[in-house]
Amino acid sequence: MKPPPRSGEPAPADSGLADEAPFAELRPLAPLRRRDARAPAAVGPWPLRLYVRAWDAMLGSLPVLLLAVLAGLSWWLVRSTPEPEADAPERALRHVPDYTMQHFAMSAYGADGRLQHRLAGEALRHYPDTQTLEIDAIRMVGFDTGGQLLRGRAERGWSREDGSELRLNGKVIIQRERLLSSNAPADDLGAGRLEFLGERLDVFPERKTLHSSLPVTLRDRRSEVHGGSLDYDHVQRVAVLAGGVRGRFLPPEDASRLAPLATDAAPPASAASAALP
């Protein structure tokens, strides 16, 4: 037995099958209509339909138009961008001096502070393209730790900027002085003064060597030797002559028959005024 409904509540409907409508009386739902994208174009006057279709076509082709515009802008930027200038070839340096000196003297010192060699001359020209020096009326002095030294002079000189090589040209005279601290007798060939005369001599101060591929004359107070080339080691005091070597060797009493050494004769006025120590 069902409880009575509360006041204010509707009476529940009877859920019995006898009270329901028969299935034959149920009407089917209407089918869903497919939405046609062109439906708006089917309504309204024909100008409106044309406008809608044109708008749809433009929207469909918009990505292609944007890509075309971007491609055109890229091509324009490439054409408008200036090409990088080709690296200009380095300007060849002319063989002209960048500085000169007159009546100069230059000295080089070793790590111990001792004077190693010195250059002097009437004029000096520095060439930056070859990093070399040209010297007129050159005079040079080279020292060693044993107290022995080389003196030299020539009409012209050529030197590397670092002083590793010196070329003497024109009436070259180089003198190897005796050992100042040596106890050897003055007539000893190894300890006495020796001269090198020629038209060209190459001096290497660091190695303390001389070289010439042109005829050279070696002489001291008792001998005179001529050769077609020369290699001289100042440290070992060894001279090697080659190419038609000939010479004269005289006893001490006949030494006056040889030409006097350059230091015994009066030096030219241009050299005497700037003689090195």
pLDDT 10s digits, 13-71? 555 544 555 655 667 776 666 655 454 444 556 667 777 777 777 777 777 778 888 88
Residue 62 lies in a domain: no
Question: What's the confidence (pLDDT) of residue 277?
Answer: 31
Question: What's the confidence (pLDDT) of residue 32?
Answer: 64
Residue 220 clears pLDDT 70, i.e. is over it: yes
Residue 169 clears pLDDT 90, i.e. is over it: yes
Residue 87 lies in a domain: no
Residue 264 lies in a domain: yes
> Does the CA dihedral 182-187-188-191 come out positive or negative?
positive
Question: What's the confidence (pLDDT) of residue 114?
Answer: 81
Residue 75 clears pLDDT 70, i.e. is over it: yes
Question: What's the confidence (pLDDT) of residue 276?
Answer: 34
Nearest Cα residue to 119 out of 147, 79, 161: 161
Question: Which whole number is the average pLDDT over 126-144?
Answer: 89
Domain extent, residue 138, equals 99-272
What CATH number does the domain containing 232 carry?
A: 2.60.450.10
**81 or 264: whose pLDDT is higher?**
81
Number of independent structural domains in the chain: 1
Residue 95 clears pLDDT 80, i.e. is over it: yes
Residue 55 lies in a domain: no
The Cα–Cα gap between 9 and 129 comes to 119
Task: State which of 20-24, 53-57, 73-77, 137-141 shows the largest mean pLDDT.
Answer: 137-141
Pair 196, 177: CB distance under 8 Å? no
Question: What's the confidence (pLDDT) of residue 153?
Answer: 93
Question: Which whole number is the average pLDDT over 265-272?
Answer: 34
Question: Which whole number is the average pLDDT over 75-81?
Answer: 79
Give the pLDDT band of residue 136 (cuts 50, 70, 90).
very high
Question: What's the confidence (pLDDT) of residue 271?
Answer: 32
Residue 275 clears pLDDT 60, i.e. is over it: no
Residue 68 lies in a domain: no
Residue 116 lies in a domain: yes
**DSSP state, residue 21:** P
Burial (CB count <10 Å: 0-12, 13-18, 19+), residue 119: buried
Give the pLDDT band of residue 264 (cuts 50, 70, 90).
very low
Three-state secondary structure string covering 103-169: EEEEEEECCCCCEEEEEEEEEEEEECCCCEEEEEEEEEEEECCCCCEEEEEEEEEEEECCCCCEEEE
Burial (CB count <10 Å: 0-12, 13-18, 19+), residue 191: middle
3-state secondary structure of 191: coil
Name the least confident of 50-59, 127-136, 228-237: 50-59
Give the pLDDT band of residue 8 (cuts 50, 70, 90).
low
Residue 180 clears pLDDT 70, i.e. is over it: no
Residue 252 falls in which region: left (phi positive, over 0), alpha (psi -120 to 50) or beta: alpha
**C-alpha neighbours within 13 Å on the C-beta side of residue 272:** 8
Residue 9 lies in a domain: no
Residue 35 lies in a domain: no
